[in-house]
């Protein structure tokens, strides 16, 4: 049986996770709950959120669901206010929400472009702004920005998404410098191709399986828990002198 680490430094920490009602984000919610952290997570689907709450609360403290469209900056700010009121000052932010909708260059309208940037880049920036104000007051904190291997492997068919995901690394390095002296660490977590229910439903066909076999060094498939485990390490005191870096969990693709 696989056994994973327990991080005592995460117990009682207030963790804000964006896009936690499905996919990798749901696994991150459960992973932090298992550590005894107090989790607030955003999402748009109350029914999906309910199943995440059920899964997480069987492992640890019941997480708080915050309905929030992350393309709406005022809604992001309101979600942070609610999280603070109910759980306390934010210690850890996991910028996970994203939209990997496929598109071709010639079809991208200004409205589509702006909407993709709003979820895949702007949301994380303003979430970091909200979280950093709490973290600066307490003199410590952790921000983890989710990138993607998609732009490194020159993935076809989602250029706006890939552009935003490459920018996650710039965001990390800029904020790491600006916030470091206030005790705030900022790192990038870059997943490979992770077998979420959505990926399996939409894109993991026979050609996709072959691509994985041809490109990963390791056999097997990444699951959300593999990404969540790295998020835990980056949030815990075990990584206390690590900042401005990128951590790739991709079974050796890139």
Ligand X SMILES: NC(=O)c1ccc[n+]([C@@H]2O[C@H](COP(=O)([O-])OP(=O)(O)OC[C@H]3O[C@@H](n4cnc5c(N)ncnc54)[C@H](O)[C@@H]3O)[C@@H](O)[C@H]2O)c1
Indicate the residue among 193 and 247 with the shorter CB distance to ligand X. Answer: 193
Indicate the residue among 99 and 182 with the shorter CB distance to ligand X. Answer: 99
CB of 138 to ligand X, least distance (A): 26
Nearest to 224 by CA among 24, 21, 15: 24
Q: Alpha helix (H) ranges present in 88-153?
A: 110-117, 123-138
Nearest to 133 by CA among 176, 164, 89, 177: 89
CB of 49 to ligand X, least distance (A): 9
Indicate the residue among 102 and 137 with the shorter CB distance to ligand X. Answer: 102
CB of 96 to ligand X, least distance (A): 5
Indicate the residue among 14 and 76 with the shorter CB distance to ligand X. Answer: 76
Which residue of this chain has its Cβ atom nearest to ligand X in the complex? 23
Contacting residues for 106 by C-beta, under 8 A, at least 6 apart: none
CB of 220 to ligand X, least distance (A): 14
User: Cβ–Cβ contacts within 10 Å for residue 18, how many?
Assistant: 26
CB of 84 to ligand X, least distance (A): 19
C-beta of residue 94 within 8 angstroms of C-beta of residue 231? yes
Interface with ligand X (CB under 6 A): 19, 21-25, 42-44, 68-71, 96-100, 119, 146, 148-149, 165, 191, 193-194, 196, 198-199
C-beta of residue 15 within 8 angstroms of C-beta of residue 32? yes
- E strands along the chain, which residues? 14-17, 38-43, 64-67, 92-95, 141-146, 184-191, 246-249
Check if 161 is active-site: yes
Residue 203 to residue 199: CA distance in whole angstroms: 5
DSSP 3-state assignment of 236?
coil
Q: Alpha helix (H) ranges present in 16-69?
A: 23-34, 46-57
Contacting residues for 228 by C-beta, under 8 A, at least 6 apart: 24, 27, 28, 30, 31, 32
CB of 41 to ligand X, least distance (A): 9
Indicate the residue among 19 and 141 with the shorter CB distance to ligand X. Answer: 19
Residue 139 to residue 55: CA distance in whole angstroms: 32
Catalytic residue among 7, 112, 158, 161: 161
- With residues binned 3-state (H G I as helix, E B as strand, rest as coil), the percentages for the chain, rounded to 5, are 50, 15, 35
Indicate the residue among 183 and 198 with the shorter CB distance to ligand X. Answer: 198
Catalytic residues: 161
């Amino acid at each position: 049986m696989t056994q994973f680490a327990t991080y005592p430094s995460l117990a009682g920490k207030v963790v804000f996770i964006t896009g936690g009602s499905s996919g990798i984000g749901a696994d991150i919610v459960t992973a932090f709950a298992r550590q005894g952290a107090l989790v607030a997570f955003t999402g748009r689907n109350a029914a999906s959120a309910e199943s995440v709450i059920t899964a997480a609360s069987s492992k640890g403290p019941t997480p708080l669901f915050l309905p929030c469209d992350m393309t709406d900056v005022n809604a992001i700010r309101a979600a942070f206010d609610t999280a603070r009121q109910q759980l306390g000052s934010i210690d850890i932010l996991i910028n996970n929400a994203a939209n990997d909708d496929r598109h071709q260059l010639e079809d991208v309208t200004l409205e589509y472009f702006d909407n993709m940037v709003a979820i895949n880049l702007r949301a994380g920036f303003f979430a970091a702004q909200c979280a950093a104000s709490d973290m600066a007051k307490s003199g410590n904190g952790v921000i983890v920005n989710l990138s993607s291997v998609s732009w490194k492997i020159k993935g076809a068919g989602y250029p706006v998404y890939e552009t935003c995901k490459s920018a996650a690394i710039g965001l990390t390095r800029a904020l790491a410098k600006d916030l470091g002296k206030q005790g705030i660490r900022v790192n990038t977590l870059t997943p490979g191709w992770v077998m979420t229910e959505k990926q399996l439903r939409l894109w993991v066909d026979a050609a996709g399986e072959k691509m994985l076999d041809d490109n990963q060094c390791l056999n097997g498939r990444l699951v959300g828990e593999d990404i969540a485990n790295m998020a835990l390490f980056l949030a815990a005191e075990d990584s206390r002198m690590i900042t401005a870096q990128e951590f790739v969990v991709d079974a050796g693709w890139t």
